[in-house]
Structure formats: C-alpha cells, structure tokens
Amino acid sequence: MREIKFVLSIDTEEEWDWEGPFPNRVISVENVSHLSTFQRQVRGMGLRPTYFLDYAVIENEYSRQILADLYKSEPEIEYGAHLHPWVTPPVVHAGSEASSHIVNLPMDTVSAQLRSLTKAIENVTGQKPTSFRSGRWGITDPILQELAKQGYLVDSSIYPFYETEWFSCADYDSWPLTMSHLGTTPELIELPVTAGFNHRPFGKAQSLHQTLEKPEWARFRVIGALWALRLHRKIYLSPELSSARDMIALCKQMLETDCPVIHMYLHSSSLLPGSTRYVQSESDKSRLMMRIEKVVNFLRSQCHLKAETITNAALGLRERGELKAHDENTVCSGLSQLVFRD
Ligand SMILES: [Zn+2]
C-alpha cells in the first residue's frame, strides 16, 4: 500500500471573531484549556499534531503553563510559530486590515516580531521552533529568507487557491515544495495545507472558479449552483470549513495524484464553543472531531497513512526526493508572476 504522510496543524491563538471588526487587543485565550482533551482525542486517532503557537497564548501565564505541561507530557507533538503582528512585540496596532498581514509590514518589524515569538516559544519548550505559519496566511520571499536565517526549516503560510487584495496564492496547489530559489542553507521547505476541488485537474478547476468569480459571471451565481449540484466545489481540508463528505471527496482527488502528503488544519479557538462562527455549541464541536476522524479513517482505508509533525514530515519528504522545486517566478505575492503546478 502506498505511504502518504498526514499532517494535522492547529493555529493556537486567542479567540477573536474573524467576521467582526479587527481586534486590537487579546480578548481571551480560554480556548487553550481545551487543548489537552483535544490532544488526547487526536492522539487516540493515531495523529501527531503540530501546534502553531502565537505570542498571545504564550504571554498569558495561564495558557503558557498549559502549553508547557502539554509539551512535557506529549513527546510526539511539535510547537511551531504563528505570527499575529497585532499581539507580537514590537506590536503593530492593527489600524487597518492591511496592517494585520505581515506581507504588508516593514521587514525590520517582521524580523523583530519573529525573534520575540521564537524566543517566547523556546522559553516554553527549551527548543527553537522549526516551523512557521503567518497569521491570516500569505508570505513573501524576504520573509521566507528571514525565517531560514532565524533557524526555521518549514513554512506553511501558502493558502492554496486563495487570494486577497495584498497577496495571491491563487496559483498554488498543496504540493510540498523545496524553496531552493531562496538560496538559503538549509533550503526552506513549503508544506501548504491541502486544498483543491472535487474534480481534477485542479488547474482547470481553478481557472473555471476564477472565471466564475469575475463580476460579469458572479451575478449569475453559477458557483453556488454548481456547488449545490456537487459539480464544482472548492474544498479546504479543514473540519471547520468543510463537511466530512467534502473533505473525503477532496482526499479522493488527492489520492489520484502522486502528492505524498495530506495536510489538515484548524484553529484552537474552535475548541471553545461560541468563540468562532464555525463551532457554536458542544454538538458542533463533536461534529468537528467526528469530521477529523472520518477523514482519517477514510485515508487509512485507502493508503498507508503515516501521521507526522510538520517538520518531520517535511524533512522525510525531502529525504525521499518527494518535494517539487519552486519555480523562481512563483512567489506568494500579488505583485509577482505566478506559475501553476498540477
Ligand atoms: Zn491566526
């Protein structure tokens, strides 16, 4: 049976309403108290999660202690770094949506914030983190170079098939990449979350999606109609956003390619019912856990699923020569030429 690596990553951060106005202060990190139960559950599924910690959950003494205890008692987990610029010193007050994205901040600020976040995580674990994800996704070459300089080995900030006003990952799929074009030693590895469609090739599906999103098409609501008919669905492998059925449909498509890794993600705040719009009640939370389990069970029925933390998975993929080279022109930035790989 073919071996596929499985990564589960959790952005571990303060609670905030993603749909509401942008937060300028940390309201609460109460969700962290639900992590040990969550960890027990996913360990029970045979998973080895990676928790991307942001500064807020470490700064708070109560959650820091929980995280330190969890790290001690669970030798098979990884703590990576998750940079929310609005809570990481030197703090950038999110006066606008734009300033909440590190791709829009001066490099000096990003480097300084990365240093304080790295140090904070090292104080909890005794080890420097080796994996990174930006808050609200998006990355640039200079930030990737800075990551390598500060000892990081893996980035996971590319959000495939997605773009905002400030950066574009629209032409990226979920393939793990070696970022050798950056010229760093060692080479940084990009391991995006798994995203795609319920039909392939994904390149064609994405072109169709982009066409239908254009104003002249959007008014006919074709995307919604195709979704309802299950003819065309863009799917992210997150139990917050997608049903088990959709995630399994995506996994089926992924298994037909030779992509060597499947990467699911969620946010720690979903473990506290009521703090995100995705999980409003205990039954939503049970459904979220069931979704994870169903996808894992499905994958286990189809392949030899090897659950690993993100750094171990990335290094293993490099060792086996399973990373694709990153084209010089492909940068997760709205200003650059993007090349699609399928
Ligand atoms: Zn975040």
pLDDT in the model for residue 330: 47
- Residue-level pLDDT at 24: 67
The per-residue pLDDT for range 17-28, each reduced to its tens digit, is 777 766 666 679
In 10 A of CB 56, how many CB atoms?
25
Gap from CA of 231 to ligand 1 centroid (Å): 31
- CATH number of residue 58's parent domain: 3.20.20.370
Q: Ligand 1: distance of its center to the CA of 114 in Å? A: 14
135 C-alpha vs ligand 1 centroid, how far in Å?
A: 4
How far is the centre of ligand 1, averaged over its atoms, from the C-alpha of 85 (Å)? Answer: 10
**Distance from the CA of 84 to the center of ligand 1, in angstroms?**
6
Residue 50 lies in a domain: yes
Q: How far does residue 269's CA lie from ligand 1's centre (Å)?
A: 10
- Please give the residue range of the domain that contains residue 270: 3-198+233-325
- Output the six-digit token pair for 342: 């399928």
Residue 126 lies in a domain: yes
Contacts of 330-337 with C-beta under 8 Å, sequence gap 24+, read: 330/171, 330/172, 331/140, 331/141, 332/138, 332/139, 332/140, 332/157, 332/158, 332/167, 332/168, 332/169, 332/172, 333/103, 333/138, 333/140, 333/141, 333/167, 333/168, 334/163, 334/165, 334/166, 334/167, 334/168
Q: Which residues of the chain register pLDDT less than 50?
A: 328-342
- Whether residue 226 is contained in a domain is answered as no
CA of 278 to the centre of ligand 1 (A): 15
Assess if residue 192 is contained within a domain. yes
* Structural domain contains residue 8: yes
**Do the domain assignments include residue 75?**
yes
What's the number of domains the chain is made of? 1
Please give the distance, rounded to the nearest whole angstrom, from the Cα atom of residue 161 to the centre of ligand 1: 18
% of the chain residues with pLDDT over 90: 81
User: What pLDDT was estimated at residue 92?
Assistant: 84
Q: Kindly give the distance from the C-alpha atom of residue 134 to the centroid of ligand 1, in angstroms, as a whole number.
A: 7
Q: Ligand 1 centre from 83 Cα, in Å?
A: 7
Q: How far is the CA of 136 from the centre of ligand 1 (A)?
A: 6
Ligand 1 midpoint to CA 14 (Å): 8
Is 204 within a domain?
A: no
Domain annotation covers residue 27: yes
Q: What separation in Å is there between the alpha carbon of 13 and the centre of ligand 1?
A: 6
CA 171 – ligand 1 centroid, Å = 22
